[in-house]
Structure 1
Amino acid sequence: MTDHTADAWEIAAAYERYVGRWSRPVASKFLQWLPPAGAGAAWCDVGCGTGALAHAVLVAEEPSRVVGVEPSEGFAAAARTTVDDPRFEVRPGTAAAIPAVDGEFDRVVSGLVLNFLPDPIEGLVEMRRVTRAGGTIGGYVWDYAEGMEMIRAFWDAAVELDEAARDRDEGVRFPLCRPDPLHDLLASAGLTGVRIQPLEVPTVFADFDDFWAPFLGGQGPAPGYCMSLPARRRAELRTVLEARLRRDRAGRIALTARAWAFHGSVPD
């Protein structure tokens, strides 16, 4: 079981500047890949955060309703403001305790959350409880090990300066950022027809400051580690990163963010 005490997720604006802005295109690609639910389906977005995935469902699908479940009051408030649709509501809760009755939803989805659950199998079993028989559970997680290049670059530089930073690296901490462990977990939760698919989106930063500033927001493991450093060591980390990252002629830093998408069915 992973210790998540340093993984702060409370300040919506800082999260949006960090990875929230890249979660929206991933959400759209995920829904294009997910088997269609059909008009009138009831959806649940577990760990809805600031509402990126819920908003994408409302735009791309024809749901009767979308229920977001979110433990952070700050994120829940942001989701209610961002997703202006009468079919959307946010309920306080967690993946381990979803405030819904058995079989309430046709689709239960979760974006960029599974790695951060204290007990992922417990969360998936609870998602299965609130999904109707024959319904679908799906979601996606960042490929922290390799494909989420923004965060990969950060930790590679951090470990170069401080070997102890390796224990904070999401690529080390979260085995579910790889397809095989992710597949095995879903199968262990009793889902059938499990599929895993990589989703990639470009992450282009206007300049180095656009890349660096989000790590000063304190939201998530990498920014949390960054802000825990004394000013001198944080400046050293910035220097190493700035030297490593390539720019184009306009000074932009063009990277890629890869997520692993997954879905499986609840047996009839």
Structure 2
Amino acid sequence: MGDREGVEEQRVDMWAAGDAYDRYMGRWSRPVAGGFVTWLDAGAGLRWLDVGCGTGALAATVAARCRPRAVVGVDRSVGFVASAGAAAPEPARFVVADALALPVHDQAYDLAVSGLALNFLPDPAAAVVEAARAVRCGGTVAAYVWDYAGGMGFLRAFWEAAVQVDPSAAIQDESRRFRLCRPDPLRALWVRAGLEDVAVAPIEVATVFAGFPDLWEPFLAGQGPAPAYVASLAPGLRDRLRDTLGRAVPTRSDGSIALTARAWAVRGRRPGGTALGRAPG
């Protein structure tokens, strides 16, 4: 279902370079993946499917912390799958595949999870149904997405600065475009997919930048909606945006910038079996 933009064809173009993504958003993906796994509180010996695995932050966290029987990550981006596979701990493995047509048998997994990807799919509802198909009766379908509306400090500062220098930027702000990334729409999506015992919770992580260049330079790499907007600007307007953002962010005496990022996590159980628990034996 990793943090991507627009229709699927755009997503592939914009999310191809694993190193650039890691500096822009991936470094925050790892701590939020840890919070998500803690919240799920799944047992050992389970089979995990990571849908929209991106550069593998969630799958690697599962492999390191959950003693899984298997972890399979799927993503449409060849570049991301290559990055994930290069650093994958056992038993994680990764394949190029579409979240809307998963290459797995029915009820093959105990959990189907997705990190920071659901809102970038062309049909999130169909993706949740497809994930539910992949888990056993009583298995868990779960995901998390960034809270673009109010929980992403550095992105909120970025778009406020962008609109100040270019009012037409407002239409590209993720808080307007990704209205799914809020508790009520997420809960409704899981309920409509036929999942039971649906729960939603916030996960917050610190986003501390060593200095303004550490915050600004990842926006120049083109990996994501905001960086793609920066790449579209003429040099003069780009410089105005940089200077406006630099004045707006709260800089500490040592030059560092301390903000926070919040994600919303959602989980539900496929009906027809008992709630997910520890694997027997």
Q: Which TM bucket (shorter chain)?
A: over 0.9
Q: Distance in 2 between matches of 1:183 and 1:252?
A: 37
Q: State whether structure 2 residue 114 is matched by structure 1 residue 110.
A: yes
TM score, norm. by length of structure 1: 0.96
In the alignment, what sits opposite 1:202? 206
Q: Distance in 2 between matches of 1:3 and 1:147?
A: 20
Q: State whether structure 2 residue 255 is matched by structure 1 residue 251.
A: yes
In the alignment, what sits opposite 1:32? 38
Q: Find the residue that maps to 1:175 and give its secondary structure.
A: coil
Where does structure 1 differ by over 4 angstroms across 4 or more consecutive aligned residues? none
Distance apart, 1:82 and its partner CA = 1.2
Asked if the contact 1:91–1:99 (Cα under 8 Å) also holds between the matched residues in 2, the reply is: no
Q: State whether structure 2 residue 32 is matched by structure 1 residue 12.
A: no
Q: Distance in 2 between matches of 1:99 and 1:107?
A: 15
Q: Distance in 2 between matches of 1:138 and 1:42?
A: 14
Q: Find the residue that maps to 1:40 and give its secondary structure.
A: coil
In the alignment, what sits opposite 1:42? 47
Q: Distance in 1 between matches of 2:224 and 2:240?
A: 21
Distance apart, 1:191 and its partner CA = 1.0
Q: Distance in 1 between matches of 2:154 and 2:271?
A: 38
In the alignment, what sits opposite 2:243? 239
Q: Distance in 2 between matches of 1:3 and 1:39?
A: 36
Q: Find the residue that maps to 1:177 and give its secondary structure.
A: coil
- Aligned pairs for 1:74-153 (under 5 A) are 74-85=79-90, 87-153=91-157
Q: Distance in 1 between matches of 2:140 and 2:180?
A: 19
Q: Distance in 2 between matches of 1:193 and 1:45?
A: 21
Q: Distance in 1 between matches of 2:224 and 2:195?
A: 29
In the alignment, what sits opposite 2:59? 54
Calculate the aligned-residue CA RMSD, in Å: 1.1
Distance apart, 1:149 and its partner CA = 0.9
Distance apart, 1:35 and its partner CA = 3.5
Q: Distance in 1 between matches of 2:217 and 2:251?
A: 17
- Residue identity over aligned pairs, in percent, reads 51
Distance apart, 1:6 and its partner CA = 4.6
Instruction: Identify unmatched segments of 5+ residues in structure 2.
Output: 273-281
TM score, norm. by length of structure 2: 0.92
In the alignment, what sits opposite 2:234? 230
Q: Find the residue that maps to 1:135 and give its secondary structure.
A: strand
Q: Find the residue that maps to 2:180 and give its secondary structure.
A: helix
Distance apart, 1:257 and its partner CA = 0.5
Distance apart, 1:84 and its partner CA = 3.1
Asked if the contact 1:199–1:260 (Cα under 8 Å) also holds between the matched residues in 2, the reply is: yes
Q: Which moves more between the two structures, 258-267 or 90-99?
A: 90-99
Distance apart, 1:46 and its partner CA = 0.4
Q: State whether structure 2 residue 83 is matched by structure 1 residue 64.
A: no
